[in-house]
C-alpha cells in the first residue's frame, strides 16, 4: 500500500514539474513572439514567472528604477513584477500622462496580495481590477472629507493628539516613535471614520494593521512562515473586530434613530443608489477596513520620519518650534487649535513635504491599461500593468537642488513645476484624505515640539527599502521635556 502510494505521489509530482516547465517555456516563447509583433518599450522581463519581483520589492527602490532608466530609457521601460508584465512611466511627463488619462486609458489595479487581503468571501469576481468603492463611499458620505467638514474636526483632533501625548509620551525617557505614530493615526482614523473609541480594540488593531502593511506588496504565498500568511491571519482577526463593531453600531443606530455621524454610519444607513439595497456587514467590514488601512500607513510613516529629521536637524526643529509657539501665544489658555491656526503653519508643512520627498511613505502605485495605447512611441497592450514612481522626480536634480539635503525652505525659494513632489498622488485619483492627513500631521507637530525635545537613540537606524519604507528598530527617541510657556 505504501509503495503504491509512493509511486502514485511520485507520478503526480513528475507531472506537476513537467507541466510547470512546459508552461514556463510556453509563456517565455509567447512573450518573445509578442515582443516581435508589438513595439514594446525597452527593458527585461527577468526570470520566468517571478520576473524582477524580488529586486523590485527588496532592493532600494530608487536604485531599482534608476538603474533601468540608465540602461533602457529615462522615460519608460518594461519589466515583470508581481507576476505581471509592467511598464514603468518615469518623470513628470509620466506622472502627468497617468493623471491626465485616469478612467480613459487606465483602470485602478492593486497587487494580488492586496486584493486577497482586502477581499472577503462575499466577493467572487474574477477581475483583478479594483473599483474605487472605498473612495466613493468616503466621498459620498455627506461632506466628510471636504474643507467645511474638516473645519469642525480640528478642535476634536487637537484634543485627541494632546491626550495621546500626555498618555504615551509625557514622563517617558525613551519611546518608540513609529509604534506611537501608528497608534495615534489609528486612534484618529477609527474615531472619525467609525466612531470607535475602545482603546483595547484599537491597540489590537494597531498590531494587526502593522502585520498587514508588511504584505501589501509581496508574493501572495499563503503558507506558514511567510509574511503573507501572517498578514492573512491578521486580516481575518481585524475583520472580526470590524464586524463586531458594525453589529454594535447597527444596533445603536436602530435604537437611537441617528444615522449619519461618520462614514461607517453612512454605509450602514444608506442604500446603494444603483440597486437600492443595503450592504451586508461583511462587505461593509471590508470597505471600512480598506478606508482605515489607507489612512494608517502613509500618515504614520510621515509622522515617524518627521520625528527623525527634526532630531537630526536641531536648527529646523527650532524654526518649527518658533512657528508653533507664535501660534500658541495667540491662544487663550486651554483653547484648542482651529482651522485658521493650521493655515499659519507654513514652515511646519514644508518640513512635512520635505520629509515625504526624501522618504516617500509610498514609492508609487499601479494602474491597468484599459485599452492598447501608445506612449513615447511605444505600444502598451491592454491588460498590462502601469506603474508610476515618485523616485524619478523626488530626487531629480533638475527639480531639486542638492536633493539629498533636507531643506524645507526650498518650497519658499521657487515654485516647483507640477508633478514633481506628489506624495498624495495627482489627477482624479488624488488621495481624498490629503487634507485630513495634513491636519493630523500638523496637530501632532504643534504639540510635540512645544512639549519635547528629543534625540535618536540609534542615529544610524536602518530604513528598509522597497515599496513601504519603515525604520527597522521602530525609531527609538530619547525625550527631554520642554517647559511650557506661561
Closest CA to 393 of 341, 432, 441, 358: 358
Query: How many other CB atoms are found less than 10 A from the CB of residue 382?
Result: 11
**Separation between Cα atoms, residue 9 and residue 3, nearest integer Å:** 10
* Contact of 302 with 441, CB cutoff 8 Å: yes
**Separation between Cα atoms, residue 363 and residue 23, nearest integer Å:** 33
Burial class from Cβ neighbours inside 10 Å (0-12, 13-18, 19+) for residue 37 reads exposed
Give whole-number Cα distances, 28 to 35, 85, 202, 217, in Å. Answer: 11, 12, 48, 24
pLDDT at residue 295 tops 70:
yes
For strands 385-389 and 364-369, give the pairing: antiparallel
Mind listing the pLDDT tens digit for each residue in 164-220? Answer: 999 999 999 999 999 999 999 999 999 998 999 999 999 999 999 999 999 988 889
**Separation between Cα atoms, residue 366 and residue 88, nearest integer Å:** 9
β-pair partners for 476: 176
* Contact of 478 with 454, CB cutoff 8 Å: yes
Give whole-number Cα distances, 380 to 37, 97, 269, 385, in Å. Answer: 12, 13, 43, 9
Give whole-number Cα distances, 253 to 266, 314, 318, in Å. Answer: 10, 50, 48
* Contact of 450 with 321, CB cutoff 8 Å: yes
With a CB cutoff of 8 Å and minimum separation 6, the contacts of 236 are: none
* Contact of 271 with 248, CB cutoff 8 Å: no
Mind listing the pLDDT tens digit for each residue in 298-336? Answer: 999 999 999 999 999 999 999 999 999 999 999 998 899
pLDDT at residue 289 tops 50:
yes
- E strands, 90-230, are 106-108, 174-176
Q: What is the torsional sign of CA 176, 165, 435, 291?
A: positive
The reported pLDDT for the residue numbered 270 is: 83
**Separation between Cα atoms, residue 381 and residue 78, nearest integer Å:** 12
The residue behind cell 533636507 is 406
The reported pLDDT for the residue numbered 416 is: 84
- Mean pLDDT score, 344-352: 97
Query: Angle 24-467-78 (CA atoms, 0-180°, nearest 5)?
Result: 45
**Separation between Cα atoms, residue 311 and residue 476, nearest integer Å:** 11
Name the CATH code of domain 133-481 (choices 1.10.630.10, 3.30.70.141, 1.10.357.10, 3.40.50.410). Answer: 1.10.630.10
Q: Which residue has the higher pLDDT, 136 or 394?
A: 394
Nearest 10 degrees: CA dihedral of 68, 70, 71, 76? 60
Mind listing the pLDDT tens digit for each residue in 7-54? Answer: 444 444 444 444 444 444 445 544 554 554 479 999 999 998 889 999
- Written as nine digits, the cell of 200 is 483595547
Task: Choose the weakest-confidence range: 58-62, 114-118, 188-192, 227-231.
Answer: 58-62
pTM above 0.85, yes or no: yes
* Contact of 73 with 65, CB cutoff 8 Å: no
Main-chain phi, psi angles of 392, to 5 degrees = -80, -10
In a 13 Å sphere around the CA of 130, the CA atoms on its Cβ side amount to 23
- Say what percent of the chain tops pLDDT 90: 57
Number of H helices, E strands in the chain: 19, 10
* Contact of 165 with 448, CB cutoff 8 Å: yes
The reported pLDDT for the residue numbered 272 is: 77
Amino acid at each position: 500500500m505504501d509503495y503504491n502510494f509512493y509511486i502514485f505521489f511520485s507520478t503526480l509530482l513528475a507531472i506537476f514539474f513537467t507541466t510547470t516547465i512546459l508552461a514556463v517555456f510556453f509563456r517565455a516563447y509567447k512573450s518573445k513572439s509578442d515582443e516581435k509583433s508589438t513595439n514594446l518599450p525597452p527593458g527585461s522581463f527577468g526570470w520566468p514567472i517571478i520576473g524582477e519581483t524580488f529586486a523590485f520589492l527588496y532592493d532600494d527602490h530608487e536604485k531599482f528604477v534608476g538603474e533601468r532608466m540608465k540602461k533602457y530609457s529615462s522615460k519608460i521601460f518594461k519589466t515583470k513584477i508581481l507576476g505581471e508584465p509592467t511598464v514603468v512611466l518615469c518623470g513628470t511627463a509620466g506622472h502627468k500622462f497617468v493623471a491626465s488619462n485616469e478612467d480613459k486609458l487606465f483602470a485602478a489595479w492593486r497587487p494580488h496580495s492586496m486584493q486577497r487581503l482586502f477581499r472577503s468571501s462575499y466577493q467572487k469576481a474574477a477581475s483583478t481590477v479594483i473599483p474605487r468603492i472605498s473612495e466613493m463611499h468616503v466621498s459620498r458620505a455627506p461632506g466628510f472629507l471636504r474643507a467645511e467638514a474638516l473645519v469642525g474636526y480640528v478642535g476634536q483632533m487637537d484634543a485627541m493628539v494632546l491626550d495621546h501625548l500626555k498618555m504615551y509620551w509625557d514622563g517617558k525617557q525613551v519611546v518608540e516613535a513609529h509604534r506611537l505614530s501608528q497608534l495615534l493615526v489609528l486612534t484618529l482614523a477609527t474615531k472619525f471614520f467609525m466612531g470607535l473609541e475602545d482603546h483595547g480594540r484599537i491597540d489590537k488593531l494597531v498590531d494587526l494593521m502593522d502585520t498587514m502593511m508588511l504584505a501589501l506588496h509581496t508574493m501572495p504565498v499563503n503558507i506558514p512562515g511567510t509574511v503573507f500568511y501572517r498578514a492573512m491571519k491578521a486580516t481575518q482577526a481585524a475583520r472580526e473586530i470590524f464586524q463586531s463593531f458594525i453589529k454594535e453600531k447597527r444596533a445603536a443606530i436602530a435604537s437611537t434613530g441617528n444615522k449619519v455621524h461618520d462614514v461607517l454610519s453612512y454605509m450602514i444607513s444608506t442604500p446603494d443608489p444603483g440597486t437600492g439595497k443595503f450592504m451586508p456587514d461583511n462587505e461593509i467590514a471590508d470597505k471600512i477596513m480598506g478606508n482605515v488601512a489607507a489612512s494608517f500607513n502613509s500618515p504614520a510613516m510621515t509622522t515617524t520620519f518627521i520625528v527623525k529629521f527634526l532630531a537630526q536637524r536641531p536648527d529646523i526643529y527650532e524654526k518649527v518650534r518658533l512657528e508653533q509657539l507664535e501660534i500658541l501665544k495667540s491662544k487663550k489658555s486651554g483653547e484648542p487649535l482651529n482651522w485658521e491656526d493650521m493655515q499659519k503653519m507654513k514652515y511646519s508643512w514644508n518640513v512635512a513635504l520635505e520629509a515625504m520627498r526624501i522618504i516617500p511613505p509610498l514609492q508609487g502605485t499601479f494602474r491597468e491599461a484599459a485599452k492598447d495605447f501608445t506612449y513615447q512611441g511605444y505600444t502598451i497592450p491592454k491588460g498590462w500593468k502601469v506603474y508610476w514612481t515618485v523616485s524619478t522626480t523626488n530626487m531629480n536634480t533638475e527639480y531639486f537642488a542638492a536633493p539629498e539635503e533636507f531643506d524645507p525652505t526650498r518650497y519658499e525659494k521657487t515654485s516647483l513645476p507640477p508633478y514633481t513632489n506628489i506624495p498624495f498622488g495627482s489627477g482624479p485619483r488624488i488621495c481624498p484624505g490629503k487634507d485630513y492627513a495634513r491636519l493630523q500631521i500638523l496637530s501632532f507637530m504643534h504639540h510635540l515640539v512645544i512639549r519635547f525635545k528629543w534625540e535618536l537613540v540609534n542615529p544610524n537606524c536602518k530604513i528598509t527599502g522597497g515599496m513601504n519604507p519603515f525604520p527597522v528598530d521602530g525609531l527609538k527617541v530619547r525625550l527631554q521635556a520642554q517647559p511650557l510657556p506661561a
